[in-house]
Amino acid sequence: MIFVTGGAGYIGSHACVELLMAGHDVTVFDNFSNSQWEATERVQRIAGRTMTVVRGDIRDVQALQSALRASKAEAVMHFAGLKAVGESEAEPLKYYDNNVLGTLRLLEAMVACDVKTLVFSSSATVYGIPESLPYREDHRLSATNTYGMTKLVVENMLRDLHRSDPSWSIGILRYFNPVGAHSSGLIGEDPQGTPNNLMPYVAQVAVGRREFLNVWGNDYPTPDGTGVRDYIHVVDLAIGHVKAFDYLKTREGCIAVNLGAGSGHSVMDMVRSFEAASGRAVPFKVGPRRAGDLGAYWADASLAAELFGWRVERGLDRMCADTWRWQSMNPDGYKGEQ
């Protein structure tokens, strides 16, 4: 049994599908602050298996402990948290409360229930400004915003915890840019309000919900001047979690591993691929650089290949095609279904 915090969210829901398909039992624990119950129904429909879903907040010590104990989990996958960089700058305490205090409460509950295997959702943002590319796991760590700082604080907390008790098995997974959706078109990213991220914004332009894409800068030192990121299909990312758990269940330690494709694509690459996948135009206007943006970064993905036997299998075309299927089947996200 795997206990999945934030399992109703974008990445967590895809991870639940892959866990169920790999034969694991799953308990989701989510407060639905950024997700819909419907997502958990659809996960079970795709996998053809049931899972337990508990509505609760990781900062609610009693609710968390009793759900974890009842689940008899052997491991926790911890996706629950807040992730909007801009909001984290405006409301830092909310981010420390949810991401740092929430994780602390989760670790305490794990100690109380004697569960010592954890997979944690970290982010490439902990590398801060690149000193060398691609980012390797031993790159210096720093944070350029409050969201990134909460990930860094949790990473440090996990390393300290493991040092104090080496019987823990902890996988810190540093995601690059997750995009795409399940090939069924039933689950995908369902951003509330105006999307900040490139792929959901492009998808909403293609479907006609927004007039044009703002390209934030075309004067970066990249092949076409637009920003370059390492996009990873969310299903590849989800499979990476199953493989990480397979690795951790027989080994003690605390390891940090990049989950990325190992190569980058520009904003214009994304626009062109999305137009091809959708058969729709994606009008755009070039604007100034977005404050705080880095020009280009991508992962050295070799450690995940070496340790987990994992590498990405789905390229940019597939990321766009699957996003388009999800977007056109669910133009208003999960809320469209009543």
Q: Which residues bind ligand NAD (CB under 6 A)?
A: 5-6, 8-12, 30-35, 57-59, 79-81, 83, 98, 102, 121, 123, 175, 178
Kindly name the residue from 127, 147, 175, 231 that is annotated as catalytic. Answer: 147
Distance between alpha carbon 114 and the CA centroid of its chain, in Å?
Answer: 26
For the bound state, the minimum distance from the C-beta of residue 93 to ligand NAD, rounded and expressed in Å, comes to 14
Is residue 290 part of the contact set for ligand UDP (CB under 6 A)? yes
54 Cβ contact partners less than 8 Å away, ≥ 6 residues apart: 27, 28, 29, 30, 63, 67
| Smallest distance, ligand UDP to C-beta of residue 198, A | 4
For residue 279, give the DSSP letter: S
Q: By CB under 6 A, tell whether 142 contacts ligand UDP.
A: no
Please give the Cα distance from 203 to 213 (Å, whole number). Answer: 10
Burial class (CB in 10 A: 0-12, 13-18, 19+), 304: buried
What is the footprint of ligand UDP within residues 244-273 (CB under 6 A)? 267
The number of angstroms, rounded, from the C-alpha of 57 to the middle of its chain's C-alpha atoms is 19
Beta strand 265-266 with 228-229 is antiparallel
The interface with ligand UDP within residues 209-228 (CB under 6 A) comprises: 213-216, 227
- Residue 233 structure tokens: 């299909």
Closer residue to ligand NAD in complex, CB, 98/226:
98
Any catalytic annotation for residue 127?
no
197 binds ligand UDP (CB under 6 A): yes
What is the smallest separation between the CB atom of 237 and ligand UDP, expressed in angstroms?
Answer: 14
Q: Which does 49 bind (CB under 5 to 8 A by kind): ligand NAD, ligand UDP, none?
A: none
**Cβ(292)–Cβ(332) below 8 Å:** no
Binding site for ligand UDP (CB under 6 A): 177, 196-198, 201, 213-216, 227, 229, 267, 290, 293
